[in-house]
């Protein structure tokens, strides 16, 4: 396993533990507003880190696929359709580039 994937797994595990510890430690009390916002943003940050890691390692076909998926999301496409668009765009880029 590469060091990057070990870091991703470590971050994912620590995020899971942080999210699980919150309800256990707080009981019925509410979080302060800023803590709640940061707490809710943690999965988005992890997904962004995974996307950047894949973009760095995958090269231009992955960038093209991510751009296609981003465009599909911008046009309000559902997730399965955006994933299909990303796959088709990346495959098309690889086919044209070869």
pLDDT digit string, tens, across residues 16-66: 888 888 777 777 777 778 887 887 888 888 878 887 887 778 788 888 888
**Predicted pLDDT of residue 44:** 81
Taking the model in full, what pTM does it have? 0.49
Distant-in-sequence, close-in-space partners of 15: CB < 8 Å, separation ≥ 6: 42, 43, 46
Q: How far apart are the C-alpha atoms of 42 and 12, rounded to whole Å?
A: 10
Give CA–CA dist 69/75, Å, rounded. Answer: 10
* CA proximity to 62, closest of 77, 51, 48, 75: 51
Decide if 75 contacts 46 (C-beta within 8 A).
Answer: no
Phi then psi for 71, rounded to 5 degrees?
-65, -40
């Amino acid at each position: 396993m590469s060091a990057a994937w070990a870091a991703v797994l470590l971050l994912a595990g620590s995020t899971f533990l942080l999210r699980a510890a919150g309800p256990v430690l707080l009981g019925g009390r509410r979080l302060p507003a800023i803590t709640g916002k940061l707490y809710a943003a943690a999965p988005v940050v992890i997904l962004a880190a995974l996307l950047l890691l894949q973009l760095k390692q995958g090269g231009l076909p992955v960038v093209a696929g991510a751009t296609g998926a981003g465009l599909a999301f911008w046009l309000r496409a559902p997730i399965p359709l955006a994933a299909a668009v990303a796959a088709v765009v990346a495959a098309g880029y690889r086919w044209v580039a070869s």
